[in-house]
Amino acid sequence: MKKTYELVVFDWDGTLMDSEAHIVTSMQRTLKDLDLPVLAREKIRDIIGLGLREAILRLLPDCDDDVLLAIIERYRYHFFTDDPCEPFAGAEQVLQHLHEAGYLLAVATGKGRRGLDRVLQSTGFSQYFAETRCADETHSKPHPQMLLDIMDILDVDAKRTLMVGDTEYDLEMANAARTAAVGVDYGVHTRERLMACSPLACLSSITELPEWLVNEINTA
């Protein structure tokens, strides 16, 4: 039976990796080190999914280039010095299942290349992905360029591509690229925010994705 989708593209932080607390703590420590106002957890978690530069400018829109660069450098220090993040339960099993079922898998993330490559190596997940794109290689979400690049490289059109993510930035990117999208509500943004972007579904566990894909085949 022909699959509805050939390519499944995953966001990383908040979708496959439980990294919210580490990102928030790293940013709060950075702001404290630089004698800047330490922002509340809720404000910082809201920008998870954007590229680092874009996230900082959304948090501190009036900061100049020198401050921006200082924040980037110090944040990376904290993030890479201690990285306790773990994949969500069942994430690897889902990737392995979809890979063995013949889906092309990819990552489109707000992480930088250094960070993604490091965590792909530490988790062993790199074996599952045909392509990856990071925010420091192209436009940050919600711009569609990451998805467009992945589809172009893998030669899969938008109608055969599914984006999976936990933020409205993921779903807005999918809408702009004219791909299908599924939200997951266990990450950063609420189900209500995700549903406002009109995904095909909103799942409460990554482990629900294989069954959802099977149901899509059966109802196509």
- What amino acid positions are annotated as catalytic residues? 11, 13
| 136 contacts: CB under 8 Å, gap ≥ 6 | 51, 52, 112, 113
Instruction: Please state, as a whole number, how many other Cβ atoms lie within 10 Å of the Cβ of residue 196.
Output: 14
